[in-house]
Structure formats: C-alpha cells, structure tokens
Amino acid sequence: MAVPEPDARLAQEKEEESEEESEILEESPCGRWQKRREQVNQGNMPGIQSTFLAMDTEEGVEVVWNELLFTDKKAFKAHEEKIKTMFEQLVLVDHPNIVKLHKYWLDVKDLKARVIFITEYVSSGSLKQFLKKTKKNHKAMNARAWKRWCTQILSALSFLHSCEPPIIHGNLTSDTIFIQHNGLIKIGSVWHRVFANALPDDLRSPIRIEREELRNLHFFPPEYGQKADGTAVDIFSFGMCALEMAVLEIQTNGDTRVSEEAIMRARHSLDDPNMREFILSCLTLNPDKRPTANNLLFHRVLFEVHSLKLLAAHCFINNQYLMPENVVEEKIKELDLNMVMAEIRREGRPGAQWRYSEVSFLELDKFLEDVRNGIYPLMNFAVSRPHALPRALSQPQEDPQKAKTPTPEPFDVETRKVVQMQCNMELNEDKTQWHLTLLLILEDKLHRQLSYDLLPTDNSKDLATELVHYGFIHEDDCEKLANFLENAFHKYRSPPL
C-alpha cells in the first residue's frame, strides 16, 4: 500500500480539520443560526464563557455565537425578565461603527441556564494586530488614516455616551477595536459594562469585572471600577488607543504590563503638537477635566469642513428610499460625457474645466458604499443630541419549543433600516377600492413586498405604525414611511388636471 506524500498528507489533514471546524454543533430554535466547532476571539469580552463561529443561513454570512452561562438556575429564573429587558435594549443599539448584536434567546434546562446571543463577525482582525503588522513592515502611521480612525471611534463613543441612560463601554482597548480592509472601524465588547451594571448581585458571578490581562492595564484610568466612574473612563481608554495608533506600538515591560516610562516615551515621540495636545487632554488623570467624545470631534486636529461631495453623499443615502434601486446607473447613462461638470474662471488667463468623461463613476459607487458603511460620519456638522434608546416593543426571545421556520416569527422587532421604498396603487375591477402594493428594500438587500386593500378610513400614519407593530419595518422608519405613503396617496387619488 502506497504511503501518501508528506505534502498530500498535510493537505488531507488540513481538509479534515477544516471539515471538523465547520461541523454544526447546535442550531438556534428558529433554525436561522448554526453554531460551528471553530472558536473565535471577538474582543476579549469578560464574562462570555465561549464564542463560536456560526452561520446566518438567512443572509448567508458568518456571525459569532456567544454564550453566557449561569450556574445558579434559581437566581437566574428570579431575574429572567430583567435579563430579557436588558438584551431587548441591546439589540436596538444600532451604529455603523459598533459591532451589532442581532438576536438573543434563553436556554434554561437542568441546573444551569444560558443566554445565547448572536453578534456581527468582523473577520479582518483587531486594531492591535493591524498595528503590529504595520510596524513589522517598518511603515509609519499615515496621519490621514489616524484621523479617520479617531473620528469613527469617537463617533461610536459619542453615540453610546449620548444615549439615555449613557452606555459606558468600560473595556475599550486596541484588542476590542476591529478594523476592516476598507478602513471601517468597528468597536466590539460594548456589552461588558452593561452586563456588569444591569445584572443583580446574585447573578454577577459570570461577569469578571477585574481587568485580567496585565498588558492592557494601561488602557484604564485610576478611577476605573469605582462607583463614581463614568463616561470619562472611555475617553482615557480612547486616548491610549489614539497614542498607540500614532506610534504603532507601546513597548511592554517584558511580557507583562506597559510601564509609565514607555508611555512617556511614546508621548514625547509625537511630532505634531496638535496631535500631542489632543491625546494628552484624554489622558488627564482628573476625569472631570477630560473632554467629551463629542467635543473631541471638534478638536482642531480632527475638525474639518465637510466637502460638498460628502454632504451630497449623506443626503443621497438618507433619501435613497425615494429613488429607484439603480438610480445612479441610470443617471450615468443619460449623461453627455462631453458636458462640463465644473469650471474655474480666471481673469486674464485661461480657466480650468472638468468634463464628465474625466470622472470615474466606479470610484463614485465605492465612495457611496464607504459612506453608507460609516467610514465618513458627519459628526462635525451639528451638536449631538441625546439618543433615547427605543423601548423594545415586546420582542420575544426565541422559544425552543417552537417549530423551526426559516422566516422571522411574527411581532419580531425589525432592526434593519429601509434603504428604498416603491409603491403602486391600482383600482379593483369595479373601481370602488384601491389595492396597495409596497416594495421595501432593507439595508441587507432583503426585498419585502406587501399588498393591502385600502379601506376608506385608512391613513398613512396608522398604516406605518401597524407595519412597525408587526415587525415589518424599523421603528425609526415609521415617520419616513408615513410621509412616503401620504405622497403616494396624493399622487394616485388626486384627480388629473
């Protein structure tokens, strides 16, 4: 019998290992989420016993399956409603620079209880890994990239801190910040402090509040863990992240913690005085003297007047639901490429002209996608207002006793936003009643088509509210859809001139 070649044997072992890791260990009660054997690290989240790679069979993307184990089932049952309420609020937190929590359910059996929740999977790795690779290649940090990353992190922190009540991250390090290949920043491990504060004392055993890794101790301010600490904790941690991003690495003392001397050396190595002042303001030992996340976005090292191109892109994306799906492509086809798009006129000398033929429309599509994903937030445009987290509408947890179904259960709260709306109205055969057909395209490209025979008493606001109630649209889209339907009713029902 022939012995396989070493390379062939190695390839076979890798294939078998890959098949083993992709084996499905468990499914969610509704059958949508499938847990695999492969474990992943998504932000060193204290309190989470295990995190596995999983598959979202509805969207065809990888997600993370997180498990929070409670050994005291009796205490867990006593506070079950409080835990449900907490997770229902967390599912509603939605920001492009924050790792999304998609779904949760409870698994209570024997003497133990589990909370299982599904979060977004960021496959590109942590900020710390990216900085190490950059330093290994002997490259310096690009100042523009540093500013863009800081803006995205502060955008997420400003959102969390302006919620009512404020959400404190409490575990912000370069290990809990992820960066994708296109430069998009995602903050993970947001739920650590929420878990620790929201759970009653007799359930806090699984939440390890202490900072376990010595190498990350320098990210936390002196007041960390005290009852009086607040959002300023995150500002100090952000300052350390911004310093590490600027210098690529702060040397540790052997394999343990980062020393004060190493931090001082990193500070003094900063050449840009504005950058140095920006970072030092975050690292002030007195928490009362640290700036807020929103104020930092207006610091001179980050602040810039937004370009008309960026403002137009945000305006386009915010109102895209009013336009056909391929509106950009269709408009481009109509353009005369020899037409002058922009011109600079100068007295006494020739001006400058730019024609449409000189514009790369592929770059325009990429730019719109980057803006839509959250790479270029409009945070310096207006003073932030508090975000009241919407009260969950009675979102049910997934019930293990229910039959598996590939479609969402009724009355589920819709967390995806509508990016496009189309509407058609036709009279029935006897011309006495209008039939409404509504097409909704959600941000994950899901198409949802709804049909309804309008009653004389129906109005746009009630219809939109009903769609929120039954989980067809996000609560934030209610007013937008009501206005859209009102315009459609006026268009179709108004007699022709």
Q: How confident is the model at residue 221 (pLDDT cuts 50, 70, 90)?
A: confident
pLDDT higher than threshold 80 for residue 111? no
Which residue type occupies 341? M
Q: How far is the CA of 65 from the CAs of 123, 191, 227, 462, in angstroms?
A: 14, 14, 31, 37
Instruction: Give 140 or 67, the one with higher predicted confidence.
Output: 67
Q: In whole angstroms, how far apart are CA 82 and each of 124, 221, 493?
A: 35, 30, 48
Cα–Cα distance for residue pair 487/482, rounded to 1 Å: 9
Residue with the bigger pLDDT between 45 and 478: it is 478
- Place 146 in a pLDDT band, splitting at 50, 70 and 90: very high
Mean pLDDT of 259-284: 90
pLDDT class for 195, splitting at 50, 70, 90?
Answer: low
Going across the sheet that includes 434-442, the strands are 418-427, 434-442, 447-453
Confidence label for 393 from pLDDT (cuts 50, 70 and 90): very low
Q: How many residues are listed for the chain in this entry?
A: 497
Q: Residue 9: its pLDDT value, please?
A: 62
- Contact (CB, 8 A) for 231 and 287: no
**Torsion on CA atoms 166, 167, 173, 175, rounded to nearest 10:** -160
CA 482 to chain CA mean position, Å: 26
pTM to 2 decimals? Answer: 0.69
Q: How far apart are CA 149 and CA 174, in angstroms?
A: 12
pLDDT tens for residues 405-439? 444 444 567 878 888 888 888 887 777 788 888 88
Predicted local confidence at residue 408, as pLDDT:
42
Q: What is the largest CA-CA distance in the chain?
A: 89
Give me the helices (H) in 99-231, please.
127-136, 143-161, 191-198
Residue 47 to residue 191: CA distance in whole angstroms: 10
The alpha-carbon radius of gyration of the chain (Å, integer) is 26
What phi and psi, each to the nearest 5 degrees, are found at residue 447? -100, 130
319 or 55: which carries more pLDDT confidence?
55
> Tokens for 259?
């020393």
Model confidence pLDDT, tens digit, residues 65-74 = 988 887 778 8
Tokens 């929740």, residue?
A: 117
DSSP state of 271: -
Q: Going by C-beta distance under 8 Å and a sequence separation of 6 or more, which residues neighbour residue 155?
A: 95, 97, 297, 374, 377, 379
pLDDT of residue 497: 47
Domains, the chain, in order of start with CATH, read: 23-120 (3.30.200.20), 127-298 (1.10.510.10), 307-344+353-373 (no CATH), 418-493 (3.10.20.90)
Instruction: Give me the mean pLDDT over the 139-146 stretch.
Output: 85
Would you state the pLDDT for residue 401? 44
What's the pLDDT score for residue 381?
53
Nearest-angstrom CA–CA distance, 293 and 241 = 14
pLDDT in tens, 281-295: 999 999 999 999 999
